[in-house]
Structure 1
């Protein structure tokens, strides 16, 4: 992945407030941002699909994996230490706050025995200092942070396979390190599950096949007030773009279900299979699309600026800005981007471009018991790991990244419809900060 400038990108402070009226371009992530999933069913499907692959294709013990899911062990943002077989909860200063070996939680003494009295682990420290610099390369061979609800179930599969490995070899004390094949096999399973070509396949695979057959079980429709808010932004002559990691056929499917058959009218340009966070830092070319298939590289995206609607694949931020500047009749784009993935949607655009960001973090909805209650609170509130945001005294790594990268964090996409477009909005959390941050 190419990085612009020095590691760490731009150093920018978060202002005290912002106004939507100050921006002429607004971009959106799709999955878990505009399109909210039914998380209990979704995470269950992902776990089942992953474990089915591990049993059928990799030969793992079905009795170990194909048993009821433990939602209490799962949390967005957990970090895996492949070699030690540990699942880690990293605090805002890069130290290890909580840890489990397999599914067994470690005491403070056990954590310090493995990571030292400072509770520091070099790969985690490198990620804490600069997550994009560790996206590929040596650190990525030792660590994986599970950033969203799509890879979150991998933590439980990993932990259960570590338990099984320990059992076969006399317990964790007699196992110097866990074989790397456990994570590489899980990674193969994730790659198979989310392979973008599977959605168009006849059976769609276990994951896409179920999503395609039972959308009402896994997807939520976007509330009317959110759709009206998008239309209002367009009426104010703002240029709207959809920037998603999903391939165009799946993005079209979920967008149609969530936003309705006329969803394309809400956007000036749709970029699919964007390969974030690299989209914000690389010079990867845009590719044309025909019948949901990628075609040749586009010589210049600006050549398409006279079209009312553009749909392309992959690409890069710099060319998108040049395209939007033409759409704005020469005015310099001033962009907001709205997303849920802390690294891909918030950290990367805020620190590597001049784009401001807004966060949709469902854990805020679940933790603060906002009305109506979140229907999937058990997925959001991991009783074994504590709050996603951490505590007042020990904020989590993810809270700190959000605080340094997002102007505003809301619990759900439709929350934006409650906010004024032409008045200053205080930065931070809306409608209130997580209750855990007010507690010790």
Structure 2
């Protein structure tokens, strides 16, 4: 998305300098080279490119340590015999730095296996022969690995090899996988396509308003729950838009050819079918992706950290009302005023 803005502004600059619109533009390879200079994985070790040096100078300015509740949840999952794993597209040195600041030096104790530089979404779409796992030697690819081992970390890989590991660990032919991530592109659509159950970390839920009651209780059994810190005013301003409106629902008024008027929040929507009268229609593009491909959306892991491991979540598959799928409840912008 930032690349689209860069492209548009470069077109404007070139046209202004030339005094007219150009027949063709040749700058895009230079933009891609700039992106590579800033973000290519070798830059973390080489301390170049702008992004990684800035992060390394003050990591805690950019990442927030996990709460004790979330750490306890990870341990509870492992103690209950669940297989816990880390899957990230970040390269190993950058990923380990993030994890040490988020979880601590003992971050690897929270997971049975860690897969880095997974290059999602290709991790889910490439065949095993196209995307093998590699051991890690001096933060680079070592030998090709055909079988995953508990307690290890790997580079690259594909879901096909990992499924063999999950079958062995669980003793089940089709183990259920709940996968938590914050990218619709990489953490929702691809895992859903291989039968995983995506839980989308969706900070827009809090940014657009989540009632104070929901920060202290859930629809599960009562528990002793600490106060959950929501986004700051600056974070809300960064996440929300005063131009585009809600991330979830569009209230645009449409004047139809027959002279009638319809709003984007009408109770019968061609995209979603019948909806709950208490809620606006989840009718934006991103809302459609979330409702169609995610199982559950939560603002942050703290909301579920104290729930029993057998808690039953309502999912977006229940299309009769828009409260299903959002946990602990839908954002305020979806509630009819």
Scaled to the shorter chain, the TM-score interval is 0.7 to 0.9
CA distance in 2, matches of 1:354, 1:154: 32
CA distance in 2, matches of 1:291, 1:159: 41
Which of 388, 400, 418 is equivalent to 2:288?
400
Distance of aligned partners of 1:377 and 1:236 in 2 relative to their CA distance in 1, 3 Å threshold:
same
CA distance in 1, matches of 2:26, 2:248: 30
- Residue 388 of structure 1 contacts residue 396 of structure 1 at CA under 8 Å; is this kept in 2? yes
Distance of aligned partners of 1:418 and 1:366 in 2 relative to their CA distance in 1, 3 Å threshold:
farther
CA distance in 2, matches of 1:214, 1:197: 19
Distance of aligned partners of 1:165 and 1:431 in 2 relative to their CA distance in 1, 3 Å threshold:
farther
Q: How does 1:2-401 map to 2 (within 5 A)?
A: 146=1, 153-170=2-19, 175=21, 179=25, 181=27, 183-201=28-46, 203-283=47-127, 284-298=131-145, 300-302=146-148, 304=149, 308-329=150-171, 332-351=174-193, 353-368=194-209, 372-375=229-232, 376-391=235-250, 393=264, 395-401=283-289
- Residue 39 of structure 2 contacts residue 49 of structure 2 at CA under 8 Å; is this kept in 1? no
CA distance in 2, matches of 1:334, 1:368: 32
Distance of aligned partners of 1:431 and 1:163 in 2 relative to their CA distance in 1, 3 Å threshold:
farther
Partner secondary structure for residue 333 of structure 2: helix
Could you tell me how far 1:169 is from its partner in structure 2? 4.3
**RMSD over aligned Cα atoms:** 2.2
CA distance in 1, matches of 2:8, 2:210: 30
CA distance in 1, matches of 2:239, 2:294: 20
Higher relative contact order (CA 8 A, sep 6+): 1
The superposition leaves residues 273-295 of structure 1 with CA deviations (integer Å, 9 ceiling, x where unpaired) of 10111111212111111232211
- Residue 360 of structure 1 contacts residue 409 of structure 1 at CA under 8 Å; is this kept in 2? yes
Could you tell me how far 1:324 is from its partner in structure 2? 1.6
Distance of aligned partners of 1:251 and 1:264 in 2 relative to their CA distance in 1, 3 Å threshold:
same
Could you list the structure 1 runs, at least 4 aligned residues long, displaced by more than 4 angstroms after superposition.
none
CA distance in 2, matches of 1:185, 1:403: 38
Could you tell me how far 1:418 is from its partner in structure 2? 4.3
Partner of 2:268: none
Higher helix share: 1
CA distance in 2, matches of 1:369, 1:169: 50
CA distance in 2, matches of 1:383, 1:178: 34
The superposition leaves residues 377-410 of structure 1 with CA deviations (integer Å, 9 ceiling, x where unpaired) of 1210122222222326272211111111111101
CA distance in 1, matches of 2:105, 2:124: 29
Partner secondary structure for residue 200 of structure 1: helix
CA distance in 1, matches of 2:24, 2:239: 29
> How many residues are treated as equivalent by the alignment?
278
Structure 2 stretches lacking a partner, 5+ long: 213-228, 252-263, 266-282, 316-324
Which of 322, 326, 334 is equivalent to 1:429?
326
Could you tell me how far 1:365 is from its partner in structure 2? 1.5
Partner of 2:280: none
CA distance in 2, matches of 1:399, 1:361: 11
CA distance in 1, matches of 2:231, 2:23: 40
